[in-house]
Structure 1
Amino acid sequence: MAEEQNHPFPHEPGPQGPEVKQPHILELKVPPVVIFGFFAAAMWGIAVYFPVFDVDIPFRIPITIFLTVTAGLTGGYSLHLFLKEKTTLHAHKPQDTGQMVVSGPYRHTRNPMYLSLSLVLIAWAIFLSDLIALMMMPAFYGYMTRFQIIPEERQLISKFGDDYKDYADKTPRWL
């Protein structure tokens, strides 16, 4: 049972055979940029209307700028690689992926575009100077992993088989 829980792709065949779970209704339904916007708005709302954990963060602006620029460069380069390889940018149609991209930031993380969104949210929370806003990040990671990344990975395994599994074994999902 413990082996099943640690299986890297929960909806793939495990030690006891294939799971017969139906995909969750939220899988690949809400565009990642909408989820990003929801979390950014929620963070702002918390900072403005419930400033219970408003803190003074030294170097808040330089840190915010650094994280945002890093996110922009990483996300922009990742998009460039997808366009260069003529593969889909549509997060809801991973089955349309033309080929695997494993160079550039994809050598260090399987999801540099989602990592970029998370860096911007972290920068936003720091800019807002609110610890509760920052504490929302695990919910963002959890949602993106469960309803976006794992379903994408299932599609990529279906399309690329052992090549994707080997890549996933060597490259972390986030960092």
Structure 2
Amino acid sequence: MTLLAKPHWLELKLPPVLLVVIAAGLIVISPAFSYFESVNQARQMSSWMPLTATGLMALGIIVAITGVYQFRQYQTTVNPVNPHHASSLVTTGIYRFSRNPMYLGMLIALLGWSAWWQQPFGLIITQLFNLYMSRFQIIPEERALQGQFGLQFDEYCQQTRRWL
């Protein structure tokens, strides 16, 4: 398994929930930075958007909470800043489909939030969240888990995708 070997000073510094709150806030204020008139026209045309948005946000919350619940069942840490405190490697349930269901849930919820506010710029913000989480949260977590669980973690990575 190849993970970035050299740690970066931003790794594991910002709690993911804080990043979601920041991204959600940026989505809300993004119209202030938008010069596209078509954004306002799209708002008027999409009456189905509240249902889609609510569904995505609910799905995201369910996925994230399911990941937390499984960690609690295995009595391992959910603290994303200290992945080396993990007491077990969870590979069953929702973790069969994603190595990071909590982060996947956050991402899905942000997509729903963007849909709720009908902000196309929210897709960019959500992608930036994805890139940040992958580089500064997930890769360092995986590095710690690989160091702690070795071959068992390598096999899990070969069987299960990082996001979905």
Alignment TM-score, normalising by the size of structure 1: 0.85
AA paired with 1:27? E
User: Post-superposition shift, 1:77?
Assistant: 1.4
> What is the RMSD of the two structures over their aligned residues, measured on CA atoms?
1.5
AA paired with 2:49? R
Instruction: Tell me the secondary structure at the aligned position of residue 136 of structure 1.
Output: helix
User: Post-superposition shift, 1:48?
Assistant: 4.8
C-alpha distance 99-153 of structure 1, shift in aligned 2 (>3 A) = same
Q: Does residue 36 of structure 1 match 2:25?
A: no
Which residue does the alignment assign to 1:9? 3
Which residue does the alignment assign to 2:31? 47
Q: Does residue 26 of structure 1 match 2:10?
A: yes
- The 1-side partners of 2:26 and 2:53 are apart by 18
Which residue does the alignment assign to 2:52? 63
Q: What aligned pairs does 1:110-129 form with structure 2 within 5 A after superposition? A: 110-129=99-118
Structure 1 residue runs without a partner (length 5+) = 1-6, 12-20
User: Post-superposition shift, 1:49?
Assistant: 5.3
Deviations 1:75-124 (Å, cap 9, x if unpaired)?
11111111111000100110000101111111011000000101110001
AA paired with 1:31? P
Instruction: Tell me the secondary structure at the aligned position of residue 30 of structure 2.
Output: helix
Q: Does residue 168 of structure 1 match 2:157?
A: yes
Deviations 1:3-56 (Å, cap 9, x if unpaired)?
xxxx64222xxxxxxxxx3x2111000000111111111111113553633423
AA paired with 2:3? F
- The 1-side partners of 2:17 and 2:35 are apart by 26
Query: Is the helix fraction higher in 1 or 2?
Result: 2
Q: Does residue 74 of structure 1 match 2:68?
A: no
Deviations 1:151-170 (Å, cap 9, x if unpaired)?
00000000000100110111
Which residue does the alignment assign to 1:107? 96
Instruction: Tell me the secondary structure at the aligned position of residue 135 of structure 1.
Output: helix
- The 2-side partners of 1:145 and 1:98 are apart by 22
Instruction: Tell me the secondary structure at the aligned position of residue 12 of structure 2.
Output: coil
Deviates more, 1:74-83 or 1:109-118: 74-83
- The 2-side partners of 1:102 and 1:60 are apart by 35
